[in-house]
Amino acid sequence: MTTRSGGTRLTFGLLVLVLYAACRAVTTVILLAVLPRQVPSGMTGGPDVPVTYWSFTALWDGQWYERIALHGYPDVLPVGPDGHVQQNPWAFYPLFPFTSRALMGITGLDFPAVGSTVALVCGFGAALLMGLLLRDRIGSRAALVVVVLWASFPASVTLQLAYTEALAMLLLVGYLYALDRRRWLVAAAVAVLVGLSRPIGVPLGLVTLVVVVFRWRDRGHRPIATRECASMAAALVGCAVAGLLWPAVAWWRIGSPSAYTDTMAAWRGSGQVEPFTPWLGVATWWLGEIWGPVMLVAVPLAIVALVAGPWGAALRADLRTWSLAYPLYLAAVLDPFTSIVRYLVPLFPLLVPVVGAGWSDRRGNTWPRLLVRAVPVLVLFVIGQYWWTDTLWRFVPPTDYPP
């Protein structure tokens, strides 16, 4: 089977992997350049222990994942003097730390080495599936460019750290790929795994609903058998399970229906989960009373414009829906702060219109046009990686802003 650019599927896949490896090599150089500036602390193994590459890859949330890998989840939620639930491991989903624990038992290696290696391998898988997902929509050239830009995004450093981003991306792109191929039962199974890795089941459910509606509308041209109807329903149920599974497990284990939400509230500045409202306060604090509200309006409008116009037609309904549903979900459940850069990693479809590759006739997908748009973005992204690593990832004792 040949692609529109004449290359074979195998050649395309190998190109994706080689280019992704080059992106990870650049990130490794950046990590090694910043590492000497990291002050030894309890987060790096102890104030008297020299910082190594491996210990440098397991800071921040990596400490929580290591704790879960070694000790599991507590049976009782910790409560502070004020009676509120304190930060605890139940905020972190189990698939990544438990996978790491299994490999730690097999290899005898410690968590930083295993966790960052798991992330690295998952990142390769995510890049390959992303390339295949985009290739039929925007062509091989544009798909390669988008994968490279995604793999070079400032927070793409997390794709080789002891964080869950790479695993979640592998499952996310795997789910979208199965949905694109109408492998409904595969998508349902992957959705359950998503529900054990990252709380993104709700926006994925909306994507699935849109795809199901489009398939139903096409039933006049392609009749839907009873078996396919059941499979589509299974995919929707899988997303529902993904959204409810981990809160349900926390409820069962702790004995409180609000165990998960109480835990998540411990990470909020107000001590409670407040949909949407924290964004205005944070935006005003960062940008002022005029520009803060302006940006809160301008950014969503820019995202809608990117995906809804004819320059985003090649994304099709599923990736367009994801590009809108995921930011809306973040706005509803997230307190915006320094971690927002990391949460943007799953928004890879937006890179398609950014490089002018989303036109249905592929008018912008020649190498000259792609490179003119992509190279400046790539340079900015690589510079952004250094900024993210040195400013957000590097921990400055005694306290610092999390990445």
pLDDT in tens, 8-66: 888 999 999 999 999 999 999 999 999 999 999 999 988 989 999 999 999 999 999 99
Rounded to 10 degrees, the C-alpha dihedral 91/95/98/104 comes to: -120
Query: In whole angstroms, what is the distance from residue 163 CA to residue 182 CA?
Result: 30
By mean pLDDT, which of 140-144, 226-230, 266-270 is the weakest? Answer: 266-270
pLDDT in tens, 198-219: 999 999 999 999 999 999 999 8
- What pLDDT does 56 receive? 97
Residue 2, burial from CB neighbour count under 10 angstroms (0-12, 13-18, 19+): exposed
pTM of the predicted protein model: 0.96
Using the predicted structure, report yes or no on whether residue 300 has a pLDDT greater than 80. Answer: yes
All residues at 6 or more sequence positions from 319 whose CB lies less than 8 Å from its CB, including other chains: 137, 176, 307, 349, 352
Query: In whole angstroms, what is the distance from residue 195 CA to residue 273 CA?
Result: 20
DSSP category for residue 267 = T
- What pLDDT does 5 receive? 46
Using the predicted structure, report yes or no on whether residue 334 has a pLDDT greater than 50. Answer: yes
If you count them, how many residues does the chain have?
403
Q: Where are the domains of the chain?
A: 9-393
